[in-house]
Amino acid sequence: MKETVKAMVFGTFDNIHLGHMNLITQAKRYANYIIAVVARDDTVEKIKGRTPKNNEKVRLEHVRTIKAVDKVVLGNLSDYYGVIEEYNPNYICLGYDQESSITKNIEEELKKRYLKAKVIRLRSYRPDLYKSSKVKDL
């Protein structure tokens, strides 16, 4: 029986596009089980300064339709790292443009919680076309 190796990806996933699909495909290179964490509406507003087009429940359902994703969960409002602790992935795969206080402190926070997940920064995929801020009407 093959060992389950888990990778966790994070995102708003407001309009699913090829950049998101590429993020998940890259994460699959590290793991055979993908957990997608959909950002809460309040978290998106704090980080991006705007509310998402679709609410968190709609975005969660959209991500559930992606066959390459094994589990889809909402982020934790009171403890951003709690979802990592709960699912204890082997890898945390971050997009090339995911820069916030949450991601900047992630390795330090993992150490504090005695979690051994390796943080991987994934490559961009055609950011001139497939970046959420550029893809508005999909």
Is residue 49 a contact partner of residue 24, using CB atoms and an 8 Å limit? no
Residues 36-46, buried b or exposed e (16+ Cβ, 10 A)?
A: bbbbbbebbee
pLDDT of residue 138: 37
Task: Determine the Cα–Cα distance for residues 105 and 138; give it in Å rounded to an integer.
Answer: 32
**Structural domain boundaries in the chain:** 6-121
H or E element: which one contains 81?
Answer: none
- pLDDT given at position 135: 44
pLDDT of the residue at 123: 81
State residue 96's pLDDT score. 82
Per-residue pLDDT in tens (0 to 9) along the chain, 138 residues: 789 999 999 999 998 989 899 999 999 999 999 999 999 999 999 888 999 999 999 999 999 999 999 999 999 998 989 999 999 999 999 988 777 656 678 999 999 999 999 999 998 776 555 455 444 433
Pick the CATH number of 6-121 from 4.10.320.10, 3.40.50.620, 3.30.930.10, 3.50.30.50: 3.40.50.620
Q: CA distances (Å), 38 to each of 42, 83, 89, 101, 137, in order?
A: 12, 11, 16, 17, 19
pLDDT score at 102: 66
Which residue is it, tokens 């809460």? 40
* Model pLDDT, residue 35: 98
The pTM (predicted TM-score) of the whole model is 0.86
